[in-house]
Amino acid sequence: MTRVYNFSAGPAMLPTEVLQRAQAEILDWNGSGMSVMEMSHRGKEFMSIAEKAESDLRKLMAIPDNYRVLFLQGGASSQFAMVPINLLRDKSTADYLLTGQWSKKAIAEGKRYCDVNIIADTSDTNFTTVPSAESLDFNGDAAYVHYTPNETIVGVEYPYIPDTGAVPLVADMSSTILSRPIDVEKFGVIYAGAQKNIGPAGLTLVIIRDDLISQDLPESVPSMFRYATHAENGSMYNTPPTFGWYLAGLVFEWLKELGGLEAMAEINQRKAKLLYDTIDNSVFYENPVEPRNRSWMNVPFTLIKPELDAAFLAEATQAGLTTVKGHRSVGGMRASIYNAMPEEGVKALVDFMEAFASRNH
Ligand code: PMP
């Protein structure tokens, strides 16, 4: 069996141990005589899987009791709409920070529902920076502040959590959740598509503070778009993405066995440093992002000889290093090094990069 090191931005690699466990349990989960995919979501077997996953996630992230954890569908993209639908209440404005393509999409969706105040906009740097904490001047009357802590395409992240005072902070953590410990209490809502650091595509995680779950929305808001519906029904108002929920639970167990998010953060920092050092110490590769705003998870880089891009990608694939091509909107390369990318994978990539540079210099 040959497994490649897959540097995709998502769906991304899953830990081999998790896949092996799922494989061992695929025909007969724990003596039930069936796979998790075939079980009733309301049966006692699946209920135990669901509860264990939530309680492990609560421990890993130290989620306080006054937050609900929802296992939903629709991707992070649905949250771009669910956030304004549920959080605006009697307000008509929300603050947004624009730092890349994903916050831009969240803003476009927010504009369907309210007046969007763009508090910061880093498009003049091609989204290679984030605003400084001191430069942020929030509007006290906003229903919430939305930001994207890690922008997956350009590979830029905030080295701090914005202080929004009493206004709830909403974070699209799709490409950074579980990469390190975070203080959940600083947020009103955290949401993430699963396909990077949580599990397979199709599951969307929402962590929301109780008081933000409104019971009082306009009649026209569909049940499925109300956080209250999902919170009141334990994410089982309709059939949840059962297999994704189960696999996420296996990923949470894997993280716990590894030593939790502190241990994961140390590994992630080492991986990112190795790759950025390789880029910075070479005259052959470049990364445009402001060093203190560089993402630990998504590392874009360009070759100083772009005419060699196709050869670089073909030879990388030959060496078992796949999906290194940059996002179509920025070109070049991008190595996504989420939690499940082992350190050996990053070492293999930097060895390949150095060898390629010396062959083509
Ligand atoms: N936000 C961020 C930061 C992302 O990276 C992505 C997906 N790449 C999305 C939102 C969209 O997520 P989904 O495809 O789950 O809707």
102 C-beta closer than 6 A to ligand 1: yes
The Å distance, Cα 75 to ligand 1 centre, comes to: 7
Q: Are residues 229 and 272 in the same domain?
A: no
User: Does 295 sit in the ligand 1 pocket, CB within 6 Å?
Assistant: no
Q: What pLDDT score was predicted for residue 2?
A: 87
**Same domain? 82 vs 217:** yes
* Mean pLDDT, rounded, for 330-353: 97
pLDDT tens digits, 33-43: 999 999 999 99
Residue 52 among the catalytic residues: no
Query: Tokens at residue 295, please?
Result: 């993402």
pLDDT tens, residue by residue, 287-302? 999 999 999 999 999 9
Using one digit for the tens of pLDDT, what is the confidence trace for 93-134? 999 999 999 999 999 999 999 999 999 999 999 999 999 999
Q: Would the pLDDT of 246 be above 90?
A: yes
Is the residue at 10 inside a domain? no
Digit-coded pLDDT (tens) for 160-193: 999 999 999 999 999 999 999 999 999 999 999 9
Angle, CA of 296, 300 and 302, to the nearest 5°: 145
**Domain hosting residue 66, numbered range:** 16-257
Number of domains in the chain: 2
Instruction: Classify residue 148 by its DSSP letter.
Output: -
- Distance, in Å, from the CA atom of 223 to the CA atom of 230, rounded to the nearest integer, reads 9
Q: Backbone phi, then psi, for 156, in 5-degree steps? A: -120, 140
Whole-number pLDDT of residue 189:
99
Report pLDDT for 95: 98
**pLDDT > 70 fraction of the chain, expressed in percent and rounded:** 100
* Residue 131 lies inside a defined structural domain of this protein: yes
How far, in Å, is the centroid of ligand 1 from the Cα of 133? Answer: 24
Residue 311 lies in a domain: yes
Residue nearest to atom 14 of ligand 1 (CA): 75
Cβ-based neighbours of 158, under 8 Å, separated by 6 or more? 99, 130, 147, 149, 150, 293
For the cut 80, the answer to whether the pLDDT of residue 225 exceeds it is yes
The answer to whether residue 275 sits within a structural domain is yes
Residue 152 lies in a domain: yes
Cis peptide before 11 (omega within 30 of 0): yes
| CA–CA gap between residue 154 and residue 356 (Å, rounded) | 23
Task: Give the residue from 218, 241, 257 where a domain finishes.
Answer: 257
pLDDT tens column, 234-244: 999 999 999 99
How many angstroms separate the CA atoms of 191 and 75, rounded? 9
pLDDT at 308: 97
Give backbone dihedrals phi and psi of 107, rounded to 5 degrees, phi first.
-65, -45
Active-site hit among 172, 245, 254, 325: 172
Cα dihedral 30, 199, 65, 218 sign: negative
- pLDDT of residue 1 exceeding 80, the answer is no
Confidence of residue 330 (pLDDT cuts 50, 70, 90): confident
Residue 174 Cα, ligand 1 centroid: separation in angstroms?
6
Q: What is the pLDDT of residue 329?
A: 85
CATH number, domain of 273, equals 3.90.1150.10
Phi, psi dihedrals of residue 117, rounded to the nearest 5° = -95, 120
Q: Report percent pLDDT > 90 for the chain.
A: 98
Torsion sign (Cα): 330, 154, 260, 232? negative
Q: First vs last Cα of the chain: how many Å apart?
A: 35
pLDDT in tens, 57-96: 999 999 999 999 999 999 999 999 999 999 999 999 999 9
CA distances from 163 to 53, 137, 187, 208 (A): 30, 10, 10, 18
Mutate to test the pocket of ligand 1, among 71, 99, 174, 330 (most ligand atoms within 8 A of CB): 174
Q: What is the pLDDT of residue 33?
A: 98
